[in-house]
């Protein structure tokens, strides 16, 4: 299925350097990827004693069918809070260096539910332990129980100028990006060893022609993004893969193919 870019198409008064309609992860997919890679966040509940004031607490979680799963103690403030008022939110932020407000973050809004005995509890237990294996020694303590957040809507912010509300059905049906776990390695490899390839692809497949440097900033199943340093400052460029990918090996094949095509196209245009 083809995905389309759903970020704002205007960046101030400047014309984008690439076609904004090329295949791009939806905000639902970006949010699922960010949450799936997180494993910890801030659970926001209404305090049961302090007049319902918002109360934030650090929690760890797993994800099962789009629902965050928590292992929480009966002694915790947030457990007492959700027993009285089940409406809650989970905030998950992308980690990394640099401007924190330029990075992604997600707020999941929904209802907290304690998971009853049965198959659902076993599945939730497995999902939590997959994300938090260190909890295996206390997960069966009697004062701990597994809860889940039944997500009704999601606020996704991918940095400056990229944000939207994602409704529950969109969130539930979206898939995390399959190469998220290897994306950082691909990005580092391309920036360290293949600047020429990035330059060729940028010039062949975008409007960016005059720039001092190019750096890959993101890669996903549909393509990759670079930042080019121009006379106007840094500008983003997105380049689509010919085919959707699912592994690091497939990413390599597509990047090599794009580089060969770019080199051929640029050589042909320079000779005419």
- Write 81-85 long-range contacts (CB < 8 A, 24+): 81/45, 81/46, 81/47, 81/48, 81/55, 82/45, 82/112, 82/147, 83/48, 84/46, 84/48, 85/45, 85/46, 85/48, 85/52
Distance CA 155, CA 128 (A): 23
The pLDDT score that the predictor gives to residue 91 is 98
- Predicted structure pTM score: 0.87
The pLDDT assigned to 4 comes to: 46
Confidence tier at 13 by pLDDT (50, 70, 90):
low
Judge whether 59 and 81 are in contact, CB under 8 Å: no
265: pLDDT strictly greater than 50: yes
Mean pLDDT score, 69-91: 97
- Please report the pLDDT score of residue 99 as a whole number: 85
pLDDT band, residue 144 (cuts 50/70/90): very high
pLDDT in the model for residue 1: 38
Give me the residue label for tokens 């929904």. 110
Kindly report which listed range (3-12, 47-56, 66-75) carries the lowest average pLDDT score: 3-12
Domains and CATH numbers, the chain: 27-173 (2.30.110.10), 180-270 (3.20.180.10)
Q: What is the largest CA-CA distance in the chain?
A: 76
Residue 72 CB partners (closer than 8 Å, separation 6+):
59, 78, 79, 144, 145, 147
Q: What is the pLDDT of residue 14?
A: 76
Q: From the centroid of its chain, how far is CA 226?
A: 17
Neighbour order of strands in the sheet with 213-219: 213-219, 223-230, 233-240
> Over the chain, what is the mean pLDDT?
92
* 249 against 103, higher pLDDT: 249
Q: Give mean pLDDT, residues 200-204.
A: 97
Q: Is the pLDDT of residue 150 over 50?
A: yes
DSSP state for residue 63 in the 8-state scheme: E
Contact 19, 13 (CB under 8 A): no
Highest mean pLDDT, choosing among 107-111, 232-236, 268-272: 107-111
Tokens of 143: 């004062």
């Amino acid at each position: 299925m083809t995905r389309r870019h759903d970020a704002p198409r205007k960046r101030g008064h400047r014309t984008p350097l690439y076609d904004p309609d090329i295949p791009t992860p939806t905000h639902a997919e970006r949010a699922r990827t960010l949450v799936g890679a997180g494993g910890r966040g801030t659970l926001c509940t209404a305090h049961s004693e302090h007049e319902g004031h918002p109360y934030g607490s650090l929690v760890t979680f797993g994800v099962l069918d789009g629902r965050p799963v928590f292992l929480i103690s009966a002694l915790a403030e947030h457990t007492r809070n959700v027993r009285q008022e089940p409406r809650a939110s989970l905030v998950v932020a992308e980690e990394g260096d640099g401007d924190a407000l330029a990075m992604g973050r997600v707020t999941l809004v929904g209802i907290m539910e304690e998971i009853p005995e049965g198959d659902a509890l076993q599945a939730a237990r497995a999902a939590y332990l997959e994300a938090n294996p260190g909890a295996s020694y206390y997960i069966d303590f009697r004062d701990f129980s597994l809860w889940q957040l039944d997500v009704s809507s999601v606020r996704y912010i991918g940095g400056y100028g990229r944000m939207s509300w994602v409704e529950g059905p969109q969130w539930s049906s979206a898939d995390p990006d399959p190469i998220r776990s290897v994306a950082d390695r691909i990005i580092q490899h391309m920036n360290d060893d293949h600047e020429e390839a990035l330059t060729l692809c940028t010039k062949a497949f975008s409007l960016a022609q005059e720039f001092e440097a190019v750096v890959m900033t993101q890669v996903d199943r549909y393509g990759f993004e670079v930042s080019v340093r121009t006379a106007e400052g840094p500008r983003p460029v997105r380049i689509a893969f010919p085919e959707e990918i699912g592994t690091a090996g497939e990413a390599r094949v597509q990047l090599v193919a794009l580089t060969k095509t770019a080199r051929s196209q640029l050589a042909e245009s320079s000779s005419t």
